[in-house]
């Protein structure tokens, strides 16, 4: 039996007390981090995307500073690595991967999808991004350049997908409803 199993709660309490006493991590910090992890889901990212599609000033903020754009949507980012947002256009398609492990903008999107952590995804995103996209049934025109972007422990990336045609006049809620998890990683594109 491990120490953690026998003395888990006592050890944890003692550690938290020590961290608080040394002004390293307070109980409030832990509560805030817990809340951000519990509330994070692709739905939060979808709301940011939908707002960016309808609000040019918000889109500009999002592309300049993803962390501030998340905070503007009341997503707690304290203690989280900075968030960068990359825009997919008619010329460039961004695909996010963590080649080293599974770095993901968890504060915004929640836990990464299972395939994101797989060795196959991490290797193939780099070696054959277009082939990988094909496996997600995503076909891009040949003249669209694919940028493969590495998320790291120091900097997390998400994609601002291209707004699909046929969504003119849609409400923010309607738009958010068509944005899926994979669209914000770049393995899929929103469609109507
Ligand atoms: Fe990682």
29 and 94 part of one domain: no
Let me know if residue 82 belongs to a domain. Answer: yes
Q: Are 156 and 84 in contact (CB under 8 A)?
A: yes
Tens digits of residue pLDDT in 44-59: 999 999 999 999 999 9
Position 108 confidence tier, pLDDT thresholds 50, 70, 90: very high
Q: What's the Rg (C-alpha) of the chain?
A: 19
Instruction: Tell whether the model's pLDDT for residue 1 goes beyond 50.
Output: no
Compute the distance between CA of residue 98 and CA of residue 95 in angstroms, rounded to an integer. Answer: 10
| Å from CA of 7 to ligand 1 middle | 30
Residue 83 has pLDDT above 90, yes or no: yes
> Is there a single domain that holds both residue 32 and residue 53?
no
For residue 6, the Cα-to-chain-centroid distance in whole angstroms is 36
Q: 3-state SS of 73-84?
A: CCCCCCCCCCEE
Contact 119, 87 (CB under 8 A): no
Same domain, 117 and 88: yes
Q: Is 171 annotated in the active site?
A: no
pTM of the model: 0.86
The reply to whether 118 belongs to the active site is: no
CATH number, domain of 155, equals 3.90.330.10
Examine residue 190 and state whether it is found in any structural domain, yes or no: no
Contact 162, 189 (CB under 8 A): yes
State the pLDDT at residue 79. 82
pLDDT digits (tens, 9 = 90+) for 112-169: 999 999 999 999 999 999 999 999 999 999 999 999 999 998 999 999 999 999 999 9
Residue 41 annotated as catalytic: no
Residues 11 and 94 in one domain: no
Q: Which domain holds residue 74?
A: 41-184
CA distances (Å), 107 to each of 10, 36, 75, 86, 155, in order? Answer: 28, 6, 7, 17, 12
CA of 81 to the centre of ligand 1 (A): 12
How many domains does the chain fold into? 2
In a domain, 118, yes or no: yes
């Amino acid at each position: 039996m491990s120490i953690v199993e026998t003395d888990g709660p006592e050890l944890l309490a003692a550690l938290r007390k020590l961290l608080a006493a040394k002004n390293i991590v307070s109980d409030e910090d832990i509560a805030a981090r817990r809340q951000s992890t519990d509330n994070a889901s692709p739905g939060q990212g979808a709301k940011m995307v939908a707002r960016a599609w309808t609000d040019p000033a918000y889109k500009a903020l999002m592309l300049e500073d993803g962390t501030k754009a998340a905070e503007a949507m009341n997503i707690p980012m304290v203690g989280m690595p900075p968030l960068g947002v990359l825009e997919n256009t008619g010329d460039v398609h961004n695909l996010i991967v963590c080649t080293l492990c599974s770095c993901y903008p968890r504060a915004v999107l929640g836990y990464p999808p299972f395939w994101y952590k797989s060795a196959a995804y991490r290797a193939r995103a780099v070696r054959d991004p277009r082939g990988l996209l094909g496996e997600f049934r995503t076909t891009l025109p040949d003249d669209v350049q694919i940028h493969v972007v590495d998320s790291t422990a120091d900097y997390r990336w998400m994609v601002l997908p291209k707004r699909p045609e046929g969504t003119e006049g849609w409400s923010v809620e309607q738009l958010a409803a068509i944005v899926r998890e994979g669209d914000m990683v770049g393995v899929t594109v929103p469609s109507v």
